[in-house]
């Protein structure tokens, strides 16, 4: 009688695809084929140990955190062209990978293993970078189209606050001093956000010689106002906001506002009807700061994830909700403009997880 487990492992042994299996929440390495061991610059002695113990650099770069989140949520995570530091003796080698952490679920819907597959795409990454450096600027018509769409999309939130406040104060001429003062504070913040959006959009549509001005953005002091602004625009949506550790990031203030406002707005817009939440937290790694936006909304169909960052593309399950399909495309553009990255994983009916990576030491973009 065939031992199916042994048979499957023997097939994986001969697979050209780098493959590993983790069989416990502590990320115990239960299996790794030779291709994966070569990528790791390791031997079979790592099997039976945890990923964090065998490869401390992976924990420091945030990969173990992603894996643990996959185990907890049961939502598969995929990413492309992600940099990782491979430690081989005294050498630290930077490589780029496409990879997938696939959650394997039991009959009860609980994770019992994670299947990790990876491809070394360093050569492809270098080739693409060379091509990007040689690529001509986008056509004027496309740039003008992006310019108009960006302004129309991102100015909605702060302009709505100004309109709502003006309508309220017009109808309530005898409002208390505290209420009036609160609205004037909202007006000032909205005007500042409008200025930031216009300035940043102009930069995105000018020549590459324009530099992005980086500063320390204290997210913990800003995010409350950004959330309030979004809530004013969706008064009928009820969502719990869970805020964890919020590290400061080095980036352009206006750009960070646009990114966070879009992601918070998306979570509220596509929230489920009851017990909706958005958990926002950050993690510090050796290479930079990771921000995570984790919601339990309607999710995105798996076969549509590859196109979700394209202009004016929305999930097929979102057609009955208002939206333009510009938000995620714009967020990706803004992140890349700063030299940062975005990855997204989602499960239909379970929610979406967005991870933003802001690298250390990026003074200019």
- In tens, the pLDDT along 126-136 reads 888 877 766 65
Burial class (CB in 10 A: 0-12, 13-18, 19+), 259: buried
pLDDT score recorded for residue 151: 66
Choose the final residue of a domain: 131, 166, 201: 131
The whole-number pLDDT of residue 321 equals: 42
Q: Report the first-to-last Cα separation within the chain, whole angstroms.
A: 61
Q: Which residue has the higher pLDDT, 233 or 107?
A: 107
pLDDT one-digit tens code per residue, 53-107: 999 999 889 999 999 999 999 999 999 999 999 988 888 999 999 999 999 999 9
Is a pLDDT exceeding 60 seen at residue 207? Answer: no
Residues 119 and 141 placed together within one structural domain of the fold: no
235 shares its domain with 310: yes
Domain final residue, candidates 131, 164, 196: 131
Q: Say if CB 76 and CB 99 are below 8 A apart.
A: no
**Does residue 56 share a domain with residue 21?**
yes
- Same domain, residue pair 178 and 304: yes
- Is 17's pLDDT higher than 80? yes
Identify whether residues 170 and 296 lie together within a single domain.
yes
Q: What is the reported pTM?
A: 0.66
Looking up residue 213, the CATH number of its domain turns out to be 3.30.565.10
Q: Could you list the residue range(s) of the whole structural domain that residue 39 is in?
A: 4-131
Residue 363 reports pLDDT greater than 50: no
Co-location of 105 and 178 in the same domain: no
Number of domains in the chain: 2
Same structural domain for residues 105 and 189? no
Is residue 169 within 8 Å of residue 180, measured between CB atoms? yes
> How many C-beta atoms lie closer than 10 Å to residue 185's C-beta?
11
């Amino acid at each position: 009688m065939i031992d199916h487990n042994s048979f499957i492992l023997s097939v994986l042994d001969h697979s050209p695809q780098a493959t590993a299996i983790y069989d416990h929440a502590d990320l115990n390495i239960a299996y790794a084929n030779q291709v994966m061991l070569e990528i790791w610059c390791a031997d079979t002695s790592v099997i039976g140990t945890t990923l964090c113990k065998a490869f401390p650099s992976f924990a420091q770069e945030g990969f173990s955190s992603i894996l643990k989140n996959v185990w907890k949520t049961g939502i598969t995570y995929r990413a492309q062209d992600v940099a990782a530091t491979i430690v081989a003796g005294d050498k630290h080698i930077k490589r780029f990978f496409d990879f997938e952490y696939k959650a394997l679920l039991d009959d009860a819907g609980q994770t019992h293993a994670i299947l990790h597959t990876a491809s070394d795409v360093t050569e492809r990454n270098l080739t693409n970078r060379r091509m990007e450096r040689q690529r001509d600027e986008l056509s004027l018509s496309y740039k003008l189209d992006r310019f108009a769409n960006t302004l129309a999309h991102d100015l909605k939130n702060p302009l709505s606050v100004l309109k709502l406040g003006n309508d309220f104060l017009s109808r309530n001429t005898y409002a208390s001093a505290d209420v009036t003062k609160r609205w004037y504070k909202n007006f000032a913040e909205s005007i500042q956000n409008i200025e930031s959006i216009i300035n940043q959009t102009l930069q995105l549509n000018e020549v590459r010689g324009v530099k992005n001005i980086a500063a320390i953005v204290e997210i913990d002091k800003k995010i409350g106002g950004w959330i309030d602004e979004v809530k004013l625009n969706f008064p009928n949506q009820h969502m719990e906001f869970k805020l964890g550790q919020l590290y400061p990031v080095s980036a352009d203030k206006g750009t960070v506002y646009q990114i966070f406002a879009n992601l918070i707005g998306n979570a509220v817009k596509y929230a489920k009807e009851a017990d909706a939440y958005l958990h926002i937290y950050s993690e510090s790694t050796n290479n930079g700061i990771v921000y995570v936006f984790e919601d339990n909304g309607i999710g995105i169909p798996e076969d549509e994830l590859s196109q979700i960052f394209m202009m004016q593309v929305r999930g097929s399950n979102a057609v009955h909700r208002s939206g333009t399909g510009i938000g995620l495309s714009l967020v990706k553009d803004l992140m890349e403009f700063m030299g940062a990255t975005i990855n997204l994983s989602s499960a239909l009916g379970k929610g979406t997880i967005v991870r933003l990576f802001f690298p250390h030491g990026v003074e200019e973009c």
